[in-house]
Structure 1
Amino acid sequence: MHENPSDFNTEASFPRFAEPIPNITVTIGRDALLACVVDNLKGYKVAWVRVDTQTILSIHHNVITQNPRISLTYNDHRSWYLHIREVEESDRGWYMCQVNTDPMRSRKGYLQVVVPPAIIESMTSNDMVVREGTNVTLNCKAKGFPEPYVMWRREDGDEMAISGENVNVVDGEILHITKVSRLHMAAYLCVASNGVPPSISKRVQLRVQFPPMLSIPNQLEGAYVGQDVVLECHTEAYPASINYWTTERGDMIISDTSRTGDKFETMSRNTGYTKYMSLKIRNVGPADFGSYRCVAKNSLGETDGLIKLDEIPAPTTILTTESLYNNRSKGRKANKKHDPMMVGDYGVEEWKENGPSIRHPPGAFHNGAVCPTAHTVTVCCGVLFLLHCLVSALTTQHQYQRSQPR
């Protein structure tokens, strides 16, 4: 079969599309541009048609549609551009560029309108307050095109204990927590994304109510007369508890008042549902020994804990004769050596002038005073032997100086 040369010449004389109409994707609210390029148009006319509704949008140089967002431009009687301003989801679909030949010639292009995700507030959970031990369900519904992917996570990045497993992310619109505990108390983020920026999230605060609980690091504290001491308590509660201290008689301790401000100082520090509280007792006296109670209460309950403050012996008073020796030795410098010894349960220091160190076994000071010899100035401890040690030290030093050549 041979082609008819006249048919070839006839085909060449007709308009032809120089290139296909590309499919385009536009985010809602932006402008769209569809291009139709026709060679050898001659006296034929180009029209734009909305395929799904068979609506004629433009013919040749004229816009037919009443849609004010649609306009037409052309260039050199070859390129014909359909403009759609501020596209809407309803603009999504096929558009046809056709030439009024017989038979009609046409090309189609698809306009895809994408929509970033948005949270549907009416179908999404708001902040919740629940009792510890109950079941909780958080819902999140989002819209957009393509359909958004929805997931839940904690705002602080911590793992979530869900169905016996610790996970960072829960896929889907529903977050279900069985037997919620205070450890679940946090802000949760519902995040929706579909590849069209920006992603969006909603913050849902979950608060878990429970009565106060209390722990005491040290239930028995010791202090000697004149010492400052700090008593400590740790509490957990939601709603936040009212915390305070009482004496063993039940009197509430209030700091910074004319009655107790000089003696007591209370302090508290909150971290989430936990609270640290302390009671500082300045210059402990005999009347301060006894029991102290830290109390925490909220609308769901009350708890307290007892701390007992006992008296302990004060550290043994330490007396040194170094300054006395230096003042009387006319410039002689003692060779100081730190040598801890035991006086009962306490250590004492020994000072010596050039010579071997004298060691005293633990308890050596229990039955009698150990006092300086000719070449050794030793620390003497204990109130009962203080005067004896001073006299002995002076006598020994005097004898030592007399024995030195002039």
Structure 2
Amino acid sequence: MNDLSSDSCSMAAPVLLLLLIAGSATSSDESLFPRFVEPVTNVTVTVGRDALLACVVEDLRGYKVAWVRVDTQTILSIHHNIITQNPRISLSYNDHRSWYLHIKSVQEVDRGWYMCQVNTDPMRSRKGYLQVVVPPSIIDNMTSTDMVVREGSDVSLVCRASGYPEPYVMWRREDGQDFNYNGESVSVVDGETLTITKVSRLHMGAYLCIASNGVPPSISKRIMLMVQFPPMLSIPNQLEGAYIGQDVTLECHTEAYPSSINYWTTDRGDMIISEMEIVGGKYEAFPMDSGYNKFMMLKIRNITKEDFGFYKCIAKNSLGETDGIIKLDEIPAPPSAFTTQKTVIDNQTIKKKGHHEVFWPMTP
């Protein structure tokens, strides 16, 4: 039997093989032959798991059962003996009726047809298919990484995945929002390649490449798409009014990527330095960020005559710069403000003269 002790054993002559296993029977009486109680059931197993193929034979008598790998014509077992040298394969049986082929830690090479044979003449057999499925995985060296592109250019994000069955790949934004895909508003794009023509800043964000094939778990990869563009600036109010003694806030909105450097100047071109850390400071400049949007805010405290005029907000990045102008005009103080100012002045006058009574001026 040394010729049957390796995976190279051939099934080129299966009848001869079975004659080697045991003497054949040629009786025409069906009652003298073993019979299969049920088919060898097809089995689907995830790679790495264990597989079990079952063959149930009644009235085996003196005949013998063998397991054979059909596509490679490899003898795996004969009766109680393991023939293959594959250490992952083992055999178990119950009362010479149920014969079980065990395959441990199934690999993709195990996928295929397996035959349970009985050495009758003619030979009797049943076949079952072992399907080995593989959950999807992303092929990193064939998949796009984070990308930075100029606005208006075309961009393609590629995602390659492996698995069995072949994975289905789709793209969506991580935030779940719809996006403009070549003129259409979509939430999902099918396929390994996501190509966006004339990309805009609205496309900026994180995209998920998701691969699935019905074998859990599905898998995804996150790819950041950054879109570069020079600064743009808008001003909600180009003309602001304030009265003497009032605090006022000027506002500019900017968009830029890379992030812009933003600052304010006076109409004389002098850069305004924020004095927010100084108690009673004249100016307080503070930004508010929201992605590639920035809100430039300039607070001017205790307006005086000298504060009226033009203020310029400026935004710069490596791709360009832009600016906008806001005019600050004087407006009449409201009655309540006039009363308050007059009260303060009169109270100071009273204190200088040594009077203790409080004087409340009439509202003009």
TM-score, normalization: structure 2? 0.83
1:227 maps to which residue? 246
Query: How do 1:333-348 and structure 2 match up within 5 A?
Result: none
- Counterpart of 1:50 in structure 2 is 69
Q: Cα deviations across residues 322-345 of structure 1 (Å, max 9, x unaligned)?
A: xxxxxxxxxxxxxxxxxxxxxxxx
What is the rounded CA distance, in whole Å, between the counterparts of 1:274 and 1:260 in structure 2? Answer: 30
Q: CA RMSD in A?
A: 1.8
In the alignment, what sits opposite 1:153? Answer: 172
SS in 2 for 1:122: helix
- Correspondence for 1:212 among 226, 231, 237: 231
Query: Does residue 381 of the first structure (1) align with residue 346 of the second (2)?
Result: no
Aligned-pair CA distance for 1:13: 2.1
Contact 2:276 2:283 in 1 (8 A): no
Q: Give the deviation of 1:258 after TM superposition.
A: 7.2
Matches of 2:282 and 2:98, distance apart in 1: 93
Higher RCO by CA contacts (8 Å cutoff, separation 6 or greater) = 2
Alpha-carbon contact 2:276-2:285 (below 8 Å) kept = no
Map residues 163-178 of structure 1 onto 2, 5 A cutoff. 163-178=182-197
Q: What does 1:122-161 align with in structure 2 at a 5 Å threshold?
A: 122-161=141-180
- Mapped to 2, the partners of 1:201 and 1:261 lie a distance apart of 54
What is the Cα deviation at residue 380 of structure 1? 5.4
1:36-55 CA distance string (max 9 Å, x none): 11111122211110000110
The 5-angstrom pairing of residues 284-363 of structure 1 reads: 284-317=303-336
Aligned to 1:329: none
Out of 32, 35, 41, the residue aligned to residue 13 of structure 1 is 32
Q: 2:20 aligns to what?
A: none
In 2: Cα distance, 1:308 partner to 1:261 partner: 24
Match of 1:202 in 2: 221
Q: Which of 209, 212, 216 is 1:190 aligned to?
A: 209
Shift of 1:160: 2.0
Q: How many angstroms does 1:190 deviate by? A: 1.3
Q: Which amino acid aligns with 1:195?
A: G
SS at match of 2:335: coil
Q: Give the secondary-structure state (helix, strand or coil) at the position aligned to 2:202.
A: helix
Deviates more, 1:251-260 or 1:284-293: 251-260
> Identity of aligned pairs, percent?
74
Match of 1:23 among 14, 27, 42: 42
What do residues 300-354 of structure 1 show as CA deviations (whole Å, max 9, x unaligned)? 11111111111111112587xxxxxxxxxxxxxxxxxxxxxxxxxxxxxxxxxxx
> 3-state SS of the aligned residue for 1:381?
coil
Judged with a 3 Å threshold, the aligned counterparts in structure 2 of structure 1 residues 242 and 260 are, in CA distance, closer, same or farther, namely: farther
Shift of 1:270: 1.2
Q: Trace 1:32-51 onto structure 2 (pairs within 5 A).
A: 32-51=51-70
Instruction: Report how far residue 256 of structure 1 moved.
Output: 3.4
Equivalent in the alignment of 2:342: none
Counterparts of 1:196 and 1:258, CA distance in 2 = 60
The answer (yes or no) to whether the contact 2:64–2:119 under 8 Å persists in 1 is yes
SS at match of 2:166: coil
Contact 2:256 2:317 in 1 (8 A): yes
Aligned 8 A contact 1:253 1:260 in 2: no
| 2:133 paired residue among 103, 109, 114 | 114
- Residues 237 and 326 in structure 2, CA contact (< 8 A), matched pair in contact too: yes
Residue in structure 2 matched with residue 356 of structure 1 by the alignment? none
Match of 2:108 among 86, 89, 92: 89
Q: What amino acid is aligned across from residue 119 of structure 1 in structure 2?
A: I
C-alpha separation in 1, matches of 2:216 and 2:291: 34
Give the distance between the partners of 2:58 and 2:313, measured in 1 at CA.
Answer: 92
Q: Please state how far the C-alpha of 1:56 moved relative to its aligned partner.
A: 0.6
Q: Which residue identity is paired with 2:64?
A: K
> Could you tell me which amino acid in structure 1 is paired with residue 189 of structure 2?
V
C-alpha offsets along residues 118-151 of structure 1, whole Å, 9 cap, x if unaligned? 1122222111111111111111111111111111
The amino acid that maps onto 1:308 is K
List runs of 5+ in structure 1 lacking aligned partners: 1-6, 320-378, 383-406
Query: How far has the Cα of 1:261 moved from its partner?
Result: 6.6
What is the correspondence of 1:65-76 to structure 2 with a 5 Å cutoff?
65-76=84-95
Pick from 252, 258, 272 the counterpart of residue 291 of structure 2. 272
* Separation in 2, partners of 1:180, 1:208: 8
CA contact (8 A) 2:227 2:257 kept: yes
**1:189–1:201: 8 Å Cα contact kept in structure 2?**
yes
Structure 2 CA distance for aligned equivalents of residues 310 and 102 of structure 1: 111
How many Å apart are 1:259 and its aligned residue?
A: 7.3
Distance 2:277 2:149 in 1: 43
1:371 is aligned to none
* Equivalent pairs, count: 316
CA contact (8 A) 2:275 2:282 kept: no
1:62 paired to 2:81: yes
Residues in 2 aligned to 1:28 and 1:258: alpha-carbon distance in whole angstroms: 64
Alignment of 1:233-248 (within 5 A): 233-248=252-267
> Is the contact made by 2:267 and 2:311 (CA closer than 8 Å) also made in structure 1?
yes
Q: Could you list the runs of 5+ residues in structure 2 that have no partner in the other structure?
A: 1-26, 340-360
Q: Distance in 2 between matches of 1:241 and 1:261?
A: 29
Whole-Å Cα distance in 2 between the matches of residues 252 and 258 of structure 1? 17
Q: Distance in 2 between matches of 1:230 and 1:89?
A: 69
In 2: Cα distance, 1:232 partner to 1:146 partner: 57
Structure 1 pair 94/130, CA: closer, same or farther in 2 (3 Å)? same
Taking the aligned partners of 1:182 and 1:285, their CA distance within structure 2 comes to 41
